[in-house]
Structure 1
Amino acid sequence: MEDSISKDLTCSICLTIFTDPVSLLCGHSFCRKCITNSLSIKDQCPQCRTTVPKEEKYLPTNHILKSLAEKAKEAEKIKREQGDETTGVAQFLCPEHEEKLKLFCETDQQLACVICRDGERHDGHKFKPTKEAATSRRRELEKGMEHLSDDINAIESLANTQREEITKTHVMSQQLMTQISTQFEEMHQFLRQREEEIKSELKEKKTEAVEEMTETLKVMDLALSERRELQVKMTAALEISDAVKFLQSWTEVNNMLTPECLFRPRANDLQVARTSLSLGPYESHLQFFVWKEMLQVVKPQAELLSLKSYRGDLTVSDDGRSLLCIHFKLRIHIVDESDAREHAFSVNEFSSGQHYWETEVGKGGYWELGVKGHFLKYDGQKYVISNQSSETELTFTDRPRKIGVYLNCSSKELSFYDADKMKHVHTLSSSLMSLPVSAYFNIGPSEDIDPNPLTVCWY
């Protein structure tokens, strides 16, 4: 019966009990909002398809249906609440004995009734009243909530910091993109300018050469014209068979000629002007020369390091660029290894910014390059990264002739490069690196005389 009434009070459009119901002339009823939306699309009753006149679209509320619909909604609400209470009570009853769950088994960590407590399954178990058990667990939960809250705050702080790092990375990337574009544009501008200068020099040389050859050609054309004119007159005279007329013509031609002019070749006085167009080394080694020129405008350049030695058997050249090791046999008196490792450093010190320098290692049998406590070492057989007390062996495809060292003071990172190919070899990070630092160098020990010193590259 109730289901039938609910069905009669249900809108056929939204399939729920009427809200502000209205009735059409055909007798069918709908929610005001539902039928208004329907009629705005099509002027027909959704159920019987009867056309609805425009004047019928403004419909009054069907108060009888509205009252019945409200009562039906209230009845459904009461029914739901009663069902929830019944379900709630059933939830607090022991499913096995249908007794109230007044106890909590500490052993099994579950609710129990008094019959469960006395049963064999819970024999020897420890029980507490539900209120007492709930109180102790509530305290545990509250403590857990405190820790959870602290952890959430910590994670939120970390997440915020991570977001800031992401933002900083985006900003830094954009700055680096701009910096890269700017620096490449400077090189492009230098190359374009140098290209125009070399082309302009070539054009000037071409103009000078062409002008000289053009003047020579004019002289040749004039001489050629004169000789051809003389050739025509001489040919005409030779074609005259009458002696008197020939002699008359001969007299005219003879006045234009001298034996020297007739029998001495004019070509002997002329010489072809050869092209001397040349750009010197720019003709064959243009890229190399322009690259060397560009080094003078590149900023920043590699550091111009000067060396100083703290060991008697390490000799620094007069210009401060090269480090040479005295033969091993001359320093066998050294016993303390720590003394032997007080090697050579740059006069320059670095405490901030980024720095790069290159060193020619030649064919040295032993060398160390980097900063104190952090360096790349070659012992004649293998390459090793030494970082305080740890060492890492590296693999090189070729034996480099020149090593580049890049120091980033802010991140305390030290990178090594095969400077001939500008190929990255290894990067080490060390929070233990204390600033300021100086560039570090060492040669030896080696049992062979090494005529090749370590030499800092200056560009």
Structure 2
Amino acid sequence: MASHVEASLECPACLEIFKDPVMLPCTHSICKGCLQEWRKEKGGHSCPVCRTEVNSMDLPMNLSLRNVCEAFSQASIELKDICSTHKEKLKLFCLEHQELVCLVCKDSEIHVNHKFRPIDEVAKGNKEKLQKALLDTKKRLKDYTEVRDNCNKYSDYITFQRKKVKRKIKKDFEKLRHFLLVEEQVRLSAVSKEVRNKTRLIKEKIKALSTDMATLSDMIRTAEEQLMSDDLSLMKNFQTLMTRMQKPSDKPKRLPRGSLLNEAKHVGNLKFTAWEKMKEIVAYSPVILDPTSASVKLSLSEDLTSVSAGEKQQRPQSPVKLEDAVCGSALTSGMNIWDVEC
């Protein structure tokens, strides 16, 4: 019977007990909220049940239906405090079955030799247990909140670290690139200088050879002309011509060794020698400080090789929890000795 009554009090839209029912001209009733949702979704003014058009926007409240629904809801709440078997009010708590019972249940066969306590007495003890459990739960929630907040700080700090590390990497490699660029220009300049010097010497050699060749060519032409001339002319110029042609001259010398570009000097072990020279601008530290272990009171250098006390740093709490200290990682084995300035 109760289920039938409950079914008759259900809103056809949400299938729950009516809440603020309004009456439509077609005599159907529906929750006010359900009708607003229907109109918002469908964009019309029809009845959700029979689809009859509703011209009026101001619909009357179905007061009688609302009162019945409220009374039914109140009765349902009160029924929860009644024993479903004996229809008596629940007043005791069975310690063996851990359930609420009425006075009739206490004397029933199912509860023979069971121990009972008044509901208020058991409720007091349960409240104390619940209060203790609540405090423990709140403490666990606080722990979870602290860990979550710390995770958020770590996430934000990782973003900061990414920017900081990328900036440092770019800065250091920019220095290396600048060094290599300067070294490249120096070596290219040395090549160009050697090319100019040796090219100049070869041109001077060619110029001197060209002058001597012109002189010899002139003597050859003159001799050939005299051979073709008459005897009188030959006899007049013979002695002079022979003196010029028999004048001793040095044999032309070939270019000496080393006249070509010294490739071995410029490209031999090029990368190694550049690396050797590069070591003059870089520094090596056997111990690198770990910023994640540093106290917030300490400030680390950009290259993580030195530490100083200064303004409080904005970094998450270190899990190592060192007080005024920082951990360092040794990059080499064996014994390392260094000076500490206090």
1:81 aligns with 2:70: yes
Matched residue, 2:93: 104
Match of 2:156 in 1: 167
Identity %: 16
Structure 2: 5+ residue runs without aligned partners? 1-7, 13-22, 46-50, 287-299, 307-323, 338-342
CA distance in 2, matches of 1:117, 1:247: 171
Task: Please identify which structure carries the higher strand content.
Answer: 1
Aligned match of 1:301 = 284
- Give runs of aligned pairs for residues 55-454 of structure 1, distance below 5 A: 62=56, 66=58, 69-72=59-62, 74-238=63-227, 240=228, 244=230, 248=233, 250=234, 254=238, 257-259=241-243, 261=245, 268-273=251-256, 274-278=258-262, 282-298=266-282, 300-302=283-285, 411-417=326-332, 439=336
Query: Given the two structures, how large is their TM-score scaled by the length of structure 2?
Result: 0.65
Deviations 1:143-181, CA, capped at 9 Å, x for gaps:
222222233223323332332233223222321221111
Q: Distance in 1 between matches of 2:214 and 2:135?
A: 114
Paired residue total: 279
Supply the AA of the counterpart residue of 1:109: Q
Q: Equivalent residue of 1:221, what SS?
A: helix
Deviation of residue 204 (structure 1)? 0.9
**What code does the residue aligned with 2:26 have?**
D
C-alpha distance in 2 between matches for 1:169 and 1:253: 101
- Partners of 1:281 and 1:186 lie apart in 2 by 26
Q: What is the rounded CA distance, in whole Å, between the counterparts of 2:326 and 2:117 in structure 1?
A: 60
Secondary structure at the aligned position of 1:414 is classed as strand
User: Which protein is richer in helix relative to its size?
Assistant: 2
Q: Any unmatched runs of 5+ in structure 1?
A: 20-29, 40-45, 49-60, 304-351, 357-408, 420-437, 441-459
Q: Shift of the alpha carbon at 1:115?
A: 2.6
Q: Work out the CA distance in 2 between the residues paired with 1:129 and 1:255.
A: 159
Report the equivalent of 2:26.
8
> Contact 1:10 / 1:17 at 8 angstroms: preserved in 2?
no
Whose RCO is larger (CA < 8 A, sep 6+)? 1
Distance change (3 Å), C-alpha of 1:124 and 1:254: farther
> Matches of 1:140 and 1:87 in 2, distance apart?
29
For the residues of structure 2 that align with 1:231 and 1:263, how far apart are their CA atoms? 14
What is the CA deviation profile of residues 245-277 of structure 1, one whole-angstrom value per residue up to 9, with x for unaligned ones?
A: x653x47975873445357566x1443255253
Aligned to 1:424: none
Deviation at 1:294, TM superposition (A): 1.1
What's the C-alpha RMSD, in Å, of the aligned pairs?
4.3
**TM-score relative to the length of structure 1:** 0.50
Query: Using the alignment, how far apart are the partners of 1:122 and 1:176 within structure 2?
Result: 74
Give the direction of change, closer, same or farther, for the CA distance of 1:122–1:261 in structure 2 (3 Å limit): farther
Q: CA deviation at 1:297?
A: 0.9
One-letter amino acid of the structure 1 residue matched with residue 278 of structure 2: M
Cα-to-partner distance string for 1:62-113 (whole Å, 9 max, x where unaligned): 4xx73xx3223x4443343233223223322223333322222222222222
User: Which one-letter code corresponds to 2:196 in the other structure?
Assistant: T
1:301 and 1:417, CA in 2 relative to 1: closer, same or farther beyond 3 A? closer
Per-residue deviation, 1:136:
1.9
